Structure 1
Amino acid sequence: MISEGGSFMRGMLIGGGFCVVITLLGHIKVGHEHGISHEHHHIQAPDKEQVKKLSEAERVELSQSMRVYCIILVRPKDLSQWAAVREIWSKHCDKVDYYSSEPMKVFDSISVDTNDMWTMMRRAIQKAYENNKNEYNWFFICTPSTFAVIENLKYFLLQKDPSQPFYIGHTMKSGDLDYVDITGGIVLSIESLNRLSAVFEEPEKCPEQGGLIFKMAEDKQLAMCLKYKGVSAENAEDSEGKDVFNTKSVGSLIQEAMAKNPQKVVEGCCSDMAITFSGISPNVMHVMMYGVYRLRAYGHTFNDALVFLPKPDSDND
């Protein structure tokens, strides 16, 4: 049995809740355009009925245009989570590469030869950009404790132009700096990476090594470098103001929702357009995979206008 903490009920809540997540995509309105400021904007997916009005050719073209390259930062201590991510949700990326702190024989990875998380992230981004900048328009960065629904990410980005500087996730504030928390995952457009690659060549603005005395977290360092090139952190929310990039596990969010309003656990827990959850153990990842992609109610049909599938040889679940 797949469980965590021996709780059968929790597993049922997770599975049932994520069946709702993947099927209720039609309640989001068109959101605001990106603006460079420190105010958090609602960044919303298109209306489902509008998408249905597109011709079949337009739908196919739109579906195929959404290409996400996944960058997953791993260390030796992450092996069990790494194995789970490798077998589960990462197959839904159009391409995924694991960037490791040191050479690893267990799984294929690209070594960046450093234990410093900022240097690790920076080198991973540089390698990913150099090798994939002409093939992918969106880049998603996370750690192996993250569970991501890539289809929801693609649907969420439909109204966004990757040729614009665009940097989203779950935003946090540190003094005057807004940054995207790596715990919930980070999404950058290709234009953001174009600018980031340029500032990497300016060590006085974006050093590879952080301060010798006070080290800044890697997600804050990233925000500082992007800020120099006019790319500000944007909080991704649904039309009701709920976060879609979550820095907590679904179990924690369900518990919080039950404590606040036991009559509305699913509604109070998570967005219908949830993209990520964090702090997920390998066992719970398997439960979530079941709820998101496999569990279906017999007799119900799911007629989403768009289908997002990575390339045929990706072994997509």
Structure 2
Amino acid sequence: MKTKAIFTFFCTGILMCAWKLFQDTSPTNREAHNGIMQLLQKRNLVNKIQTRVKVLCFVETCEKNLRTRAQSIKDTWGPRCDKTLYISDKDNSTFPSFRPPGVEPGYGALWSKTMFTFRYLYKHYLNEYHWFMKADDDTYVVVENLKYFLGKESLPKHNPDEPHYFGKHFKTLGGYTSGGAGYVLSREALRQLEDVLANERSPDDCKTKETDGVEDALLGKCLAVAGIHHGYTLDSAGMDLFHSFWPDFEFFGDQFPEWYYKYSANPPSSGCSNETITFHYMDPRVMRVTHFAIYKLGALLGRAKQNVTLNKFYSQDHD
């Protein structure tokens, strides 16, 4: 009862302060009040996006990479998805990872691994999640930025019950998204993809009988058969959100290979968006350092909220 009374008193105090600010006709106080309310509304919106936008992530890996690359994902960004599956060339119950039915064994056969994984997700998870994110085991995903991109009000609206497909846009081979940079499908896009795969529509374009091949380009062709094409994935300044290379490569932008200038639909440049979603070619060590920089060093910004007192030395005047 005592705890309940304290809580009630605290809440009443907050409400009275808010009422006083609202009643005060002082422009300064009213401006401060509006600023606080906007901040609270924005924080509430961000929290809603993170909790209500449901994303299943799957990582394509192999047995030999489980304890290195896949483990680094498991220790960093993987748990931030609502569910993360590790798709391998063998079943491993201790990691755990598994090989979906139909996937050819071995490190290769990437198209087989991707195609049958999406079919597995359709069968088992279609109605449990809004979005389905594919990543390689050297891809780093900033999951909060991914959910922010998918969940915020935008034009066009990114509703999961409409067919959407997002990633780093390459303009060759009819247009597709980079597999290494990761891509995400809405559940409606997954449903329509399953219709193409199950009914073997346009086999010359969507090669459902093949096991290997250029996985990301073939997926783009299969989605195109369903009438689904890549969506807009640039920030308000025209910068990519999905990246084909690691952070310092993208940040300085002065070492891109020649093929990248030919493939990238968005002209390569230096700098990274504050809303960046993915990086690629991430060594396990670099992945862990990146994660530390984002989530640990970033905690410096929250120190104003900590209950600390000033060292007495600094409360006195010193020469």
- After TM superposition, the score normalised by the length of structure 1 is 0.69
Q: Hey, what does 1:271 align to over in structure 2? A: 273
- Cα contact 1:118–1:209 (8 A) shared by 2: no
* 1:255, distance to aligned residue in structure 2 (A): 4.0
State the secondary structure of the residue aligned to 2:175.
Answer: strand
Gap runs ≥5 in structure 2: 1-35, 257-268, 306-319
Does 1:139 pair with 2:132? yes
Opposite residue 73 of structure 2, the aligned amino acid is V
Q: What's the RMSD between the two structures over aligned residues?
A: 2.9
Aligned length: 244
What is the percentage of aligned positions where both structures have the same residue?
A: 27
1:51–1:208: structure 2 CA closer, same or farther, 3 Å change rule? Answer: farther
- Cα contact 2:242–2:276 (8 A) shared by 1: yes
Higher mean Cα deviation, 99-108 or 138-147?
99-108
Q: Hey, what does 1:208 align to over in structure 2? A: 208
- Cα contact 2:58–2:133 (8 A) shared by 1: yes
Q: Hey, what does 1:96 align to over in structure 2? A: 84
1:297–1:193: structure 2 CA closer, same or farther, 3 Å change rule? Answer: closer
Does 1:125 pair with 2:118? yes
- Cα contact 1:257–1:269 (8 A) shared by 2: no
* 1:228, distance to aligned residue in structure 2 (A): 1.2
Q: Hey, what does 1:28 align to over in structure 2? A: none
1:200-240, CA deviations, whole angstroms, 9 ceiling, x for partnerless residues? 112242332339xxx64011111111111111012411011
State the secondary structure of the residue aligned to 1:184.
Answer: coil
Q: Hey, what does 1:170 align to over in structure 2? A: 168
Q: Hey, what does 1:84 align to over in structure 2? A: 72
Partners of 1:299 and 1:156 in 2: CA distance: 22
Matches within 5 A, 1:134-283: 134-157=127-150, 158-159=152-153, 160-175=158-173, 177-205=174-202, 206-210=206-210, 216-256=213-253, 268-283=270-285
Q: Hey, what does 2:52 align to over in structure 1? A: 65
1:198–1:241: structure 2 CA closer, same or farther, 3 Å change rule? Answer: same
- After TM superposition, the score normalised by the length of structure 2 is 0.69
Partners of 2:242 and 2:37 in 1: CA distance: 24
State the secondary structure of the residue aligned to 1:70.
Answer: strand
Select the structure that is richer in helix: 2
Which structure: larger Rg? 2
Q: Hey, what does 2:262 align to over in structure 1? A: none
Partners of 2:169 and 2:37 in 1: CA distance: 29
Opposite residue 162 of structure 1, the aligned amino acid is P
Q: Hey, what does 1:291 align to over in structure 2? A: 293
State the secondary structure of the residue aligned to 1:141.
Answer: strand
- Cα contact 2:134–2:183 (8 A) shared by 1: yes
1:216-270, CA deviations, whole angstroms, 9 ceiling, x for partnerless residues? 40111111111111110124110111101000001222343699xxxxxxx9421
